[in-house]
Structures are given as C-alpha cells and as structure tokens.
Amino acid sequence: MRKLRRQIYGTQKTKKTANRSWRAALTMAVLVVTMSVLTMFSFAATEDGAAITSDMLSPVLDAVKDNIAVIVPVAIGLFAIMLGIALIPRLFKKFTNH
C-alpha cells in the first residue's frame, strides 16, 4: 500500500523539488516579462526614429568624467568593505575550528 501511495503521490522529497522547480520557472517568467516590457519602453521610437541620442547621453558622460576622482575611491572602499564582510567570518571560522 505504501509503495502504491508513493508511486501515485510521490515522496516528500520529490514534492519539494517540484515546488522549487515551479518557483524557479515562475520567477524566470516574471523576469522575462518585466525585461521585455522595459525594453519596449526604452526602445520606443520618437519623432526622428531614435530613442536615445548622443545628445541625451552627453550630460551623463560629462558628469561621470568630472566626478571620476570621487567615484573610484568610494567604489574601492565599498568593494573593500564587502570583501571584508565576506572574508573575515570565513577566516575566523577556519582558524577557530581545528
């Protein structure tokens, strides 16, 4: 009887695996739909046919060029903090557990 029930309903492990697969597929579908909708808006045609022109990007590029001396040290500091948060607990565990 148990064997028949397992064949019909599956085991608890297969149910968890199927549930995970379903969640992953649903998440992927939501991401694909979101990306496609956002792509449609970003590439929508204007009067002259181009969605994003070089004139639109020039203020952004000028701002990045002017502030690169500030952006790089801040980025390096944030990277060091994230790396430290990831490595210090691992090193602590490695040297305390023999």
Report the pLDDT value the prediction gives residue 92, as an integer from 0 to 100.
85
pTM for the full model?
0.38
Domain boundaries, the chain: 1-52, 53-98
* Separation CA 51–CA 44 (nearest Å): 6
Report the pLDDT value the prediction gives residue 93, as an integer from 0 to 100.
86
Tokens of 50: 């181009």
* Separation CA 85–CA 81 (nearest Å): 6
Report the pLDDT value the prediction gives residue 72, as an integer from 0 to 100.
93
37-54 pLDDT tens trace: 777 666 655 666 666 777
Report the pLDDT value the prediction gives residue 47, as an integer from 0 to 100.
62
Report the pLDDT value the prediction gives residue 52, as an integer from 0 to 100.
72
Tokens of 42: 């970003």
59-98 pLDDT tens trace: 988 998 999 999 999 999 999 999 989 888 888 888 887 5
Percent of the residues in the chain that have a pLDDT greater than 70, as a whole number: 67
